[in-house]
Amino acid sequence: MLRCVYLDLDGTLLGPGGSLLRRADGGFALEGVRALQACSRAGAEVMLYSGRRQGSVFECARLIGASAYTFEVGCGLALDGSVEWLTDGVVPSAERGTIHAQIEASGAPALLLERFRGRLEYHTPWSEGREVSHLFRGSVDLVEVDAVLDSAGFGWLRLVDNGVVRAVSEQMAGLEVVHAYHLIPAGASKARAVARHMQARGYARDEVIAAGDSREDLGLASVVGCFWLVANATERDPRLADEVCGRPDVRLADDGYGAGVYEAVITTLAERG
C-alpha cells in the first residue's frame, strides 16, 4: 500500500521557473500532473515540502488540493489548517518578533556574510519577507560554516544546502556552482517535518515514499520507505550521484523534474501492485 508521497517543489515537482507544466528544455509537460493524478487514483496523500515561504507553499498546496505541507525547510508544518513550529522553542512572539527577526538580531547572518564574503550573499528577491530562514546563495563548506557558528556561540543554528540554483550573482562571478542555503534553527529539517506528519497521520515508513533534488531532501531517506532523487539533481551537482551510490534507501530517477516524480510514483505502484 502506498499511503503518502512527499514531494519537494522547486527542482522536483516544478520545472524551470517554478512551472508545473515545463520540462528542462522549456517544452510543455504533463508528467507532474499525471503523477498527482496517479496518487489520487491510488488513494495516496500528497504532501509538499519546500524551502519556500509559507504563503507560497500554501498556494501550491491549495492548487493541487493538498491539506498538509511544510515550509521554510521544515521549520513549520501546516496540517489541516493549523501550523506547528518544529524549531525547538525558537518561536514567533509579540516581544521578539518572527523567528527570522530573532535570528537576525542574534548577529549570526551578519557574521556569515562577513566571514564568507564573496562566497555567500542573500538570495534576493526570494530572501525577502520570510518568517524563519535567512536565505543565501553561494558556495561554502558546510563543515567550515558549522565550526564558525559553533565558535561564535551559534550552535543553535545550522546552514542547510537546499540545492543548486542558477541565479546570476555579479558579486560572486568566480563561483562555478551556486547553491541555495538556509540559516535555520539547528533542530529543524525537512525530514523532521515529514516524520511529524507521518506520526500525525499514522503512516508507517514502508507506506510512504519521497522525491527531491537536494542534499537536504536526501535527509528524508532516513524516515521514508524509499527516497527518489530526480535526474536533474545529479546533472546540476554530479557529486550527489557518488554520495548516494549503493544506498538501498535511495533510487535515482532516469528523468528530471515532474517526469522523474511520475517515474517514482508509477514504479512504486507497479512494484506494489
Please give the full DSSP string across 49-74, using - where no structure is assigned.
E-SS-HHHHHHHHHHHT-SEEEETTT
CA dist., res. 220 & res. 156, Å (int): 21
Taking the model in full, what pTM does it have? 0.93
**What is the pLDDT, as a whole number, of residue 214?**
92
Question: Can you tell me the distance from the alpha carbon of 118 to that of 258, in angstroms, rounded to the nearest whole number?
Answer: 34
Q: Selecting from 3.40.50, 3.90.1070, 3.30.460, 3.10.450, what CATH number does the domain 99-185 have?
A: 3.90.1070
Sorted by where each begins, the domain ranges of the chain are 4-86+189-272, 99-185
Same fold, 4-86+189-272 and 99-185: no
**CATH number among 3.10.450.40, 3.40.50.1000, 3.30.70.120, 1.10.3720.10, domain 4-86+189-272:** 3.40.50.1000
In the block, which residue shows the cell 530517477?
253
Print pLDDT tens along the chain (273 aa): 899 999 999 999 999 989 999 988 889 999 999 999 999 999 999 999 999 999 999 999 999 999 999 999 999 999 999 999 999 999 999 999 999 999 999 999 999 999 999 999 999 999 999 999 999 999 999 999 999 999 999 999 999 999 888 656 656 778 888 999 999 999 999 999 999 999 999 999 999 999 999 999 999 999 999 999 999 999 888 888 888 888 999 999 999 999 999 999 999 999 987
Residue 186: count other Cβ atoms within 10 Å of its Cβ: 17
